[in-house]
Amino acid sequence: MQRSRASSTSSGRLQASQQVQPLDAPKIIVIHPGSQHLRIGRACDLNPLTLLHAVAYKRKHQEGDWPYHDPMLPSLDNINPAQLQVEFEEQRLIASRILQNCVIDDKQRLRVATPPQQLAHFNRKSVAEKIPPPGNLSEERNRQWLDRGASVLFDEQILRLSTFDARDYDIHFPIQRGELNVHRQKGGSLQCTLQHMERIWSYALEARLKIHLRDLRSHSAVLVVNDVYVRRHLREFMSLLLQRLGFQRCFLVQDSVASTYGAGIGFGCVVDIGAQKTSIACIEDGISQLPSRVRLQYGGGDINQVLLMLLRKCGFPYRECSVQDSYVDARLMDKLKERFCHLNAKVCGAQEKQFHLRKQNGQWLRYTLQVGDEAIMAPLAFFHTELLNITGKARKALTQQPPQEQYDCEDCFDAEYLRETGRKNGARGADAIVAPHLNQARPLPPITADDEELNVVDQDDQPMSNGMAMGGTAAAPAPPFPM
């Protein structure tokens, strides 16, 4: 009889396992939001789609209503520009002396640095040359450079906004320094920030991945989040994916864990250098270790500001460059960083470089300049972080806060909520509490000394049944949650 029951049970489990259908990779959407870029794509795609994580709303010109623009690059420190220049020059000289002591070959020869004054003598004489559009751009593409009639702009359209065109739009980056960009100015509330993200993600799904929002009910989402996170923000992300966008299911994974899984290893130290933050985490057995999670408040955008300061020191020929007011110039500095910067100590002396720039009237210009140690000094700012003081001196290393310090009164399964309601309803005497809508037992958080001091139950207000007084189970236990 027992063998027949065991065989029937095993056969039932086998049939249940056979009925579970494997997840279809084209139906899984992986989303990795960042401070500057959004990476999104199907799980079966070789490379994700990368677009600017920003949205621009066309505004109505009203008296007293000024446009709001989130900067693409971190802003300079709010101090006297002359003092900022003096402090930066002191740190530049220190970094330059360190580079001059580097050995470049087996003959013990040291690096030869070109003074910025010599580079400035050449760069100040450099004049922009008018050139035809590179890459054989067609006239149709030039006409579509900027859709001025659109009410909402995304990705490349935002990057093409000049200082003059940007006055007609409110531009928002929903994530800054690795967290939701919540502020007190226009469009800076938590719900507005989530709405910005919903518009950007909907555009990426419909216009770029060609997935209609009504079809998301048959898709699953994998959201890659930071190692150092805010619990409430994760709950808002889940609501955005499941309720607003309508995904069938959602799964959260930390970016360091996702990177180690992608590399095929189960342990390692992951250093993620983003546009505005740098994350460090240690992975062991596929789990991000809590004490090792650190987030630093600087990234590639700060390196762009350092590079611009160094180039201006040696007479940058594009003197009208304003990364704070023009997204075109901010994108230009990002490209110059990718093309010019390196970490090869053997490359020294003046190097002649060129770059192209498209003006607002459609005319293309070519600039020629010379760069020296500026190309290696800018990325070395990650190791000589005093150079990054131009974007702020208050750079605390953020760590993950424990759940007890992230109390969320709207989460009925929050540890602090369960502890407080357990005190109120006298549930500390029970071994487990029963969730009414889940119909399953949930263990209580461990009782500490402070809990025992505060866990005072009035016997008149909370009478115990005879079964509980004798050590048995009560017929109708008090609900753990307030009705």
The predicted pLDDT at position 329 comes to 93
CATH code for the domain in which residue 53 is found: 3.30.420.40
Q: ∠ CA 118-121-126 to the nearest 5 degrees?
A: 130
- Give the pLDDT of the chain (483 residues) as one tens digit per residue: 444 544 555 555 545 444 545 678 889 999 999 999 999 999 999 999 999 999 999 998 777 788 999 999 999 988 888 999 999 999 999 999 888 888 776 676 778 888 899 999 999 999 999 988 876 554 445 455 677 778 999 999 999 888 888 899 999 999 999 999 999 999 999 999 999 999 999 999 999 999 999 999 999 999 999 999 988 899 999 999 999 999 999 999 999 999 999 889 989 999 999 999 999 999 999 899 999 999 999 999 999 999 999 999 999 999 999 998 899 999 999 999 999 999 988 888 899 999 999 887 778 999 999 999 999 999 999 999 999 999 987 678 889 887 777 777 777 777 777 777 776 555 444 444 444 444 444 454 554 444 433 343 443 444 444 343 334 434 444 444 443
The total of structural domains in the chain comes to 2
The predicted pLDDT at position 349 comes to 86
The predicted pLDDT at position 234 comes to 92
On whether residue 340 sits in a domain, the answer given is: no
On whether residue 91 sits in a domain, the answer given is: no
- Rounded CA-CA distance 245/204 in Å is 12
- Rounded CA-CA distance 310/88 in Å is 9
Which one of 211, 231, 264 terminates a domain?
264
How crowded is residue 293: how many other Cβ atoms within 10 Å of its Cβ? Answer: 20
On whether residue 323 sits in a domain, the answer given is: no
On whether residue 49 sits in a domain, the answer given is: yes
- Rounded CA-CA distance 11/471 in Å is 40
What's the burial of 130, exposed, middle or buried (CB within 10 Å: 0-12/13-18/19+)?
Answer: exposed
The predicted pLDDT at position 106 comes to 66
Which one of 264, 286, 314 terminates a domain?
264
Distance of CA 390 to the CA centre of its chain: 22
The predicted pLDDT at position 144 comes to 58
Reference 182, options 219, 249, 233; nearest CA is 233
Range of the structural domain that residue 451 is part of: 423-465
Q: ∠ CA 336-340-345 to the nearest 5 degrees?
A: 150
Instruction: Report DSSP state, residue 53.
Output: S
The predicted pLDDT at position 304 comes to 96
On whether residue 203 sits in a domain, the answer given is: yes
The predicted pLDDT at position 424 comes to 58
On whether residue 453 sits in a domain, the answer given is: yes
CB 353 within 8 A of CB 371: yes
Reference 396, options 234, 278, 305; nearest CA is 278
The predicted pLDDT at position 380 comes to 93
On whether residue 438 sits in a domain, the answer given is: yes
The predicted pLDDT at position 454 comes to 39
Which one of 243, 264, 285 terminates a domain?
264
The answer to whether the pTM exceeds 0.85 is no
The predicted pLDDT at position 362 comes to 77
The predicted pLDDT at position 426 comes to 56
On whether residue 100 sits in a domain, the answer given is: no
